[in-house]
């Protein structure tokens, strides 16, 4: 980045290599962290005259965060930038390039976590029943929707599934999620049934000469893009008469929320979703609390006019 001394830039790139090669972070995450750190370095050079990461003080780093607030960045963006700087500061200490962590006392903005949008059980039933007919694409779409809801997959995880990851006899599939971390996810009875039908009567009709082992195929015999999966969910939600916009991730949220409502253990849900921290999974408890309040408001006799 222009304006950033070579030494400061090289240390950021070294940190990026550590994140990628040693910690298995995705290319997207590494790129975002490096961009944040280059931005920080450029600001420190321009506003504080800093030429080396060893010169950066906690007060200077805090001034940068305040400047971000002046730019009216989203709280999530500011929090991510602080996370990148904290990780980098700890990296410098581990590598012996600084004796202290200059971010130790920094405090970022408090994040207000949004309650994820979910579908009701009735809406899910309508959506899963939407793909009609017995042609290859209808069988594929039915299997996709069933698997989305049955296993709580991310869009990228479902798009990248191969035949080898699926074990219908045992009722599970192996998923490679964020950071290439592997986890085992159950496949429910309805989803297994839809997948068996698709594999027997749907997928063979989509196979082309250069088709590989990807599970869900496009009309051209290749893998489905995330954009195509988004479109398919939207199309079938409209056909099901669900007025509000429905996105693939809402099936993942609904999967978790409905499991929790049914009494599933939060840590089990965490494992199935592939969350690194239980705190991330706990957002679904807010969904359940909101549902209980709504139910109380609707049905308690003292709430009726």
- Please report, for the chain, the start and end positions of each structural domain, with discontinuous segments joined by +: 6-94, 121-298
Query: Out of 81, 140, 142, 275, which one is annotated catalytic?
Result: 275
Q: What is the pLDDT of residue 131?
A: 95
CATH fold of 121-298 reads hpI Integrase; Chain A (1.10.443)
| 252 flagged as catalytic | yes
pLDDT (tens digit per residue) in 82-95: 889 999 999 999 99
Q: What is the pLDDT of residue 204?
A: 97
Q: Which residues have a Cβ under 8 Å from the Cβ of 294 and sit 6 or more positions away?
A: none
Query: Out of 98, 252, 253, 258, which one is annotated catalytic?
Result: 252
| 154 flagged as catalytic | yes
Common-topology check for domains 6-94 and 121-298: no
Q: What is the pLDDT of residue 101?
A: 93
Q: What is the pLDDT of residue 98?
A: 93
Stretches where the chain sits below pLDDT 70 are 1-2, 70-74, 108-115, 179, 286-305
CB atoms within 10 A of CB 149: 23
Instruction: Yes or no: say if 124 and 254 are a contact pair by the CB < 8 Å rule.
Output: yes
Q: What span, in angstroms and rounded, lies between the C-alpha atoms of 33 and 30?
A: 5
Domain 6-94 has CATH 1.10.150.130: yes
Q: Say how far residue 161 (Cα) sits from the centre of its chain.
A: 16
Sheet of 182-186, strands arranged across: 166-167, 172-176, 182-186
Secondary structure of 238-299 as H, E, C letters: HHCCCCCCCCHHHHHHHHHHHHHHCCCCHHHHHHHHCCCCHHHHCHHHHHHHHHHHHHHHHH
Query: Out of 25, 140, 142, 154, which one is annotated catalytic?
Result: 154
Query: Out of 86, 178, 226, 291, which one is annotated catalytic?
Result: 178
Q: What is the pLDDT of residue 17?
A: 93
Give the pair of three-digit tokens for residue 239.
Answer: 């056909």
| 142 flagged as catalytic | no
Specify the pTM.
0.62
């Amino acid at each position: 980045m222009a304006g950033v001394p070579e030494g400061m830039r090289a240390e950021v790139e070294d940190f990026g290599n550590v994140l990628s090669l040693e910690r298995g972070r995705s290319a997207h995450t590494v790129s975002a962290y490096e961009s944040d750190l280059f931005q920080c370095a450029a600001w420190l050079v321009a506003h504080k005259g800093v030429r080396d990461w060893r010169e950066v003080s906690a007060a200077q780093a805090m001034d940068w965060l305040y400047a971000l607030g002046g730019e009216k960045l989203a709280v999530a963006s500011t929090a991510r930038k602080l996370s990148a700087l904290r990780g980098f500061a700890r990296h410098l200490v581990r590598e012996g390039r600084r004796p202290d962590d200059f971010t130790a006392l920094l405090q970022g903005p408090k994040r207000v976590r949004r309650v994820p949008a979910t579908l009701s059980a009735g809406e899910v039933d309508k959506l899963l029943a939407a793909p009609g007919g017995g042609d290859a694409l209808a069988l594929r779409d039915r299997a996709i929707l069933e698997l989305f809801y049955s296993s709580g997959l991310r869009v990228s995880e479902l798009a990248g599934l191969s035949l080898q990851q699926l074990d219908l006899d045992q009722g599970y599939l192996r998923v490679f999620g964020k950071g290439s971390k592997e986890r085992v996810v159950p496949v429910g009875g309805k989803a297994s049934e839809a997948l068996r039908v698709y594999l027997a009567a749907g997928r063979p009709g989509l196979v082309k000469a250069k088709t590989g082992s990807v599970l869900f195929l496009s009309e051209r015999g290749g893998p489905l893009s995330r954009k195509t999966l988004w479109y398919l969910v939207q199309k079938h939600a409209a056909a099901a008469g669900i007025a509000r916009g429905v996105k693939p991730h809402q099936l993942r949220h609904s999967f978790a929320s409905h499991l929790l409502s049914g009494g599933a253990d939060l840590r089990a849900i965490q494992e199935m979703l592939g969350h690194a921290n239980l705190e991330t999974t706990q957002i679904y408890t807010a969904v359940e609390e909101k549902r209980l309040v709504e139910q109380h408001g609707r049905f308690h006799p003292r709430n009726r006019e």
